[in-house]
Amino acid sequence: MIKPDHVTTTTCPYCGVGCTLQLHVKDDFIYKVTSPFDSPVNHGNLCVKGRFGYDFVYHPKRVTKPMIRKTKQEAGKRTQAFDLSEWREVTWDEALDYVADNLVRIYQRDGSDAMAVYCCAKATNEDNYLLQKMYRALFRTNNIDHCTRLCHAGSVVALQQAVGSSAMSNTASQVIQNDVFIVTGSNTTENHPIISLQMKDAVEKHGAKMIVVDPRRIELVDFAEMWLPLKPGTNVPVFSAMAHVIVKENLVNHEFIANRTEGFQEFIESLEKFTPEYAEEISGVPAEDIRKAARLYAKAKNAAIYWGMGISQLSHGTASALALIHLAFLTGHIGRDGTGLNPLRGQNNVQGASDMGAMPFHYPGYMRVDDPTNRAKWEKTWNIAEGGLSLKLGLTTTEILTHAHEGGIRALYIMGENPMMSEPNLNETRKHMSQLEFLVAQDIFINESGAFADVFLPATPFAEKDGTFSNTDRRVQRVRAAHPPRGQSRPDWQIICDLARRIESRLGVASAFWDYSNPEQILREMASVNEDYAGITYERIDKIGLIYPVPHMEHHGTPTLFTESFPRGRGKFHPLDYVPVMEEADDEFPFILTTGRVLEHWHGGTMTRNSSLNEAYPEARVEIHPADAEIHGIRNGGPVMVQSRRGMVILRATVTEKTSVGVVFIPFHFAEAAANLLTNDALDPQAKIPEFKACAVQVFPARDGDLPNPEAVVERGRY
């Protein structure tokens, strides 16, 4: 048995659960991962990614030295370069001077509107805070966003409109206090495996009744009291029909509605058309099942709703989330332990990146950037003259690249994100990427987006940095370095500080302070203005973290929100209409494609596909129902072509009853069969989130020789 030199306790770098990891290190190499049983988040349990998905840290393709492209890129002719022979290794001084010179040149020539940055849901709170600070303080722009725009933006906007706060109202572990709970738009077993274990315990050990609302027969259906297999994109009629039943059968909590909400009368008038029969006609869910589900939820003592991107990733994602919020308002199932509205956040620090202001509309703490009072607070904190920060709302992730043209975005800085995998309609994304004048990639691998860059800045992964992540429960937890950085790679916060000082020097502006000696100083600067984090110090979160809001140093955290009031005062009902998905199935494209994750992989695959996990799930698959497969001549394991109006991929078929008739599913982790070549870039007009969960496709049998070679495709940078 190997005896470790030391064991480092840290937080998992994958999904939003935020499991506690113990990294066993020998000779500066992690050889085993365990978890303590006293962890309040995961109680010693880990999924396959948390247990085995750490070896990407040592992958030979990891880049650990700064690099500059040998050939200068021209806007409109920018191409991908995966081959390291197309890059030259440089010193950190040369790389950062090169970045600072070009960013300042473009800023001084074209102004703030030409600058944009993608922050990163995989990076720490401290990293994200500094990067948005650099762009706001030095380039005076709010063109700042990250992948929340591509996952839960619809949920965020809906919750802000209805309650004034966008985070989970309760914690995932409170599911064992539920009598009834709804899981919708979330394949929890594969996306948030440890929360799924808690859900199963709630059913099997505590007698809770689970209602699953999902187009696919996910594993949780085996534990559910009811399964409502709705057609993709029909959330609003199904949940509004449940609200219709609750109102018509007088199952409402009149006291809660009277004391804590507004807009009820206008809302119930809008419900008239949403009968269960109307919803059945649109969604395919039997009217009687809708009635039964509504009664179960409304009559429970404690009921909660947990949802994922099947709610938010639609052109009407905001309305879908509002339809869920209305159920909680009608019944009063919010503001108590074991109840609540709980969007399950996808990435390890997507909650924290949002908290840190990595968004175009908000400073840290969700303070609107167009409010002069908020601006004044941050100007004082950052030593900026009065009126120096911009009041102009910035561009979102989905808008930044569409504005990459003359007179628009000219310089883009990408920290850890991969828009060439995560954006919809990737053929269009490729065109936009090629239009940029200058592109910086700060990452650990040259991924599909970094291959377009002019300069590559090698950052460190979770195991080589200190800082904090904030999980889906709002729990702020420590991240600790297990060993020194590989090669010349540096933690993101150090790269940003070094670069910011160079930019300041070139701009000739007064210092906004970039000389931090450790990440905690960064967190405390942010917390001096953001009251939710005011009582959080590294010492206080050393062992189990704290769940914000933590308004002062004696406060012990707030697992349950809204116990007495909502941040906006009263919760607001919003009348809704049913708006179909932007692209429905027809004779030419008879299937609806929906996308998502699988257990073994994560996000754009930058980490897991450079890990031994890739051996467990090595290639893309499309799931198709046996009835559809028989009609179209498709065999299990056979190659198929999936085509939409935007693109085409070739991959193998999995014939399974996990999906519904007329619906196919493709995971979005595989560059050689990128699901987002097919997806629709239609946006929710409020949240600006794309419609990843529903687009029309055709499926044809293909030949084995047509299947792409994953390694060859990635090396050539071809789709």
> In which band, very low, low, confident or very high, does the pLDDT at 717 lie, cut at 50, 70 and 90?
very low
* Range 443-466 average pLDDT: 97
Residue 485 lies in a domain: yes
Domain boundary among 527, 547, 567: 547
d(CA 389, CA 141): 8
d(CA 45, CA 232): 32
Domain boundary among 490, 520, 547: 547
* The pLDDT value given to residue 150: 78
* The pLDDT value given to residue 712: 53
Per-residue pLDDT of 538-597, as tens digits, reads 999 999 999 999 999 999 999 999 999 999 999 999 999 999 999 999 999 999 999 999
Q: Are residues 464 and 400 located together in one domain of the fold?
A: yes
Please say whether the beta carbons of 18 and 12 come within 8 A. yes
Residue 41 lies in a domain: yes
Q: Are residues 90 and 183 located together in one domain of the fold?
A: no
Residue 576 lies in a domain: no
The pTM score is 0.96
- Axis-axis angle for helices 287-299, 317-331 (nearest 10): 50
Q: Are residues 394 and 250 located together in one domain of the fold?
A: no
pLDDT at 635 exceeding the cut of 50? yes
Q: Are residues 531 and 619 located together in one domain of the fold?
A: no
> In which band, very low, low, confident or very high, does the pLDDT at 714 lie, cut at 50, 70 and 90?
very low
* The pLDDT value given to residue 153: 86
| Alpha helix ranges (H) inside 254-307 | 254-260, 264-270, 276-283, 287-299
Residue 578 lies in a domain: no
Q: Are residues 51 and 135 located together in one domain of the fold?
A: no
Please say whether the beta carbons of 242 and 552 come within 8 A. no
Please say whether the beta carbons of 646 and 678 come within 8 A. yes
Counting the structural domains of the chain, the total is: 4
* The pLDDT value given to residue 710: 62
Residue 274 lies in a domain: yes
pLDDT at 715 exceeding the cut of 50? no
* Range 55-80 average pLDDT: 93
- Could you tell me where the beta strands, DSSP code E, fall in 603-719? 621-624, 639-643, 648-655, 663-667, 680-683, 690-691, 695-701
d(CA 268, CA 278): 16
Per-residue pLDDT of 376-433, as tens digits, reads 999 999 999 999 999 999 999 989 999 999 999 999 999 999 999 999 999 999 999 9
Q: Are residues 525 and 647 located together in one domain of the fold?
A: no
Quote the domain boundaries for residue 81: 67-149+348-547
d(CA 548, CA 558): 6
Residue 580 lies in a domain: no
Q: Which of 589, 599, 605 is nearest to 672 (CA)?
A: 605
Per-residue pLDDT of 114-144, as tens digits, reads 999 999 999 999 999 999 999 999 999 999 9
Domain boundary among 329, 344, 359: 344
Residue 124 lies in a domain: yes
Q: Are residues 161 and 40 located together in one domain of the fold?
A: no
* The pLDDT value given to residue 92: 98
Q: Are residues 443 and 312 located together in one domain of the fold?
A: no
Please say whether the beta carbons of 28 and 183 come within 8 A. no
Least confident range from 8-22, 401-415, 703-717: namely 703-717
Q: Which amino acid is at 634?
A: I
Of 77 and 247, the one with more pLDDT:
247
Q: What is the CATH number of the domain that holds 11?
A: 2.20.25.90
Burial class (CB in 10 A: 0-12, 13-18, 19+), 545: buried
* The pLDDT value given to residue 711: 59
Q: What is the CATH number of the domain that holds 190?
A: 3.40.228.10
Q: Are residues 626 and 496 located together in one domain of the fold?
A: no
Which run of H or of E encompasses 435? Answer: helix 426-435
Residue 24 lies in a domain: yes
Q: Are residues 254 and 176 located together in one domain of the fold?
A: yes
Average pLDDT of the chain, as a whole number: 95
> In which band, very low, low, confident or very high, does the pLDDT at 6 lie, cut at 50, 70 and 90?
very high
Q: Are residues 134 and 158 located together in one domain of the fold?
A: no
d(CA 491, CA 481): 10
The DSSP result for 41-65, as a single string, is TTTT---HHHHHTTGGGG-TT---S
d(CA 7, CA 23): 5
Q: Are residues 139 and 162 located together in one domain of the fold?
A: no
Q: What is the CATH number of the domain that holds 108?
A: 3.40.50.740
